[in-house]
A = this chain, B = another copy of it.
Amino acid sequence: MVNSLLASTSTIYGGTYLDYLFDSLKNLYQEVEEIVFIPYARPSGITYTEYTSLAEIAFQKIGKHIRGIHTFENPVQAIRNAEGIFTGGGNSFVLVSELYNQNLIPALQEVINSGTPYLGTSAGSNIAGPSIRTSNDMPIVYPPSFATLGIVPFNINPHYLDPIPNSKHKGETRETRIKEFHQFNDIPVIGLREGSWIRIQNQQIVLKGEGLTARGFEKDKTPYEIEVETALDYLK
């Protein structure tokens, strides 16, 4: 019964916040008037209020209201009553710490699995997998756990980057990092390029995005490209 959209990024190059997703968001939130926004990931350290305003400006363009979860007296109850939910990007460690701090993980799992429309971008997509162990973020705070919602049976690596040809930099490539992940973890990983998203609807998990492939990583397999419109339910 999950009805969700998990995007690699909120904004693509040359675009404005969420604009490339508007058509899909109208569909996701078709029966929703007010969306509860989770601003905990605080990109560049902006405040919850500033971040909520950004989301509000974008959603006004498709006739939806936004209310920040921090403005509710009881955040767990806010999630239980929400018509729709959106978790914005930023720092996954900060986001997950505050979700645990507010005891929101079980409530989110419950309502999203019961069909409350859920949008995640970047860190907000990352938490839809079983853990943030494939986050790209800097571990600036220590969360009580890396375990997250498990709405999809694989981990997501947002903002997936291909190795830069002829790079002189000796830091690990994204592919190397995900291979290291599979030395210690069994679950598959989807490297989701900017402009790609995953749509979960009618009990199917489908890769979306204009003309983009995603990169699939399974333990002990060679990484491979996944075409748009591929059903990802085979990944377990």
Contact = CB atoms under 8 A, between A and B. Distances in A.
Q: Is the interface of A mostly helix, strand, loop or mixed?
A: loop
B184 A141 contact: yes
28 contacts: A9-B170, A9-B171, A12-B170, A13-B169, A13-B170, A42-B180, A44-B176, A44-B180, A45-B179, A45-B182, A45-B183, A94-B180, A132-B139, A133-B141, A134-B140, A136-B138, A136-B171, A137-B172, A138-B177, A138-B181, A139-B139, A140-B180, A140-B181, A141-B184, A142-B145, A159-B170, A161-B169, A170-B194
A90 to B, nearest CB: 8
A52 to B, nearest CB: 17
Interface of A: 9-14, 42-45, 90-91, 93-94, 132-142, 145-146, 159, 161, 168-172, 176-185, 194
Q: What is the total number of copies of this protein in its complex?
A: 2
Contacts of A91: 180
Contacts of A139: 93, 132-133, 135, 139, 146
A145 B109 CA distance: 26
A233 to B, nearest CB: 25
B180 A138 contact: yes
A98 to B, nearest CB: 11
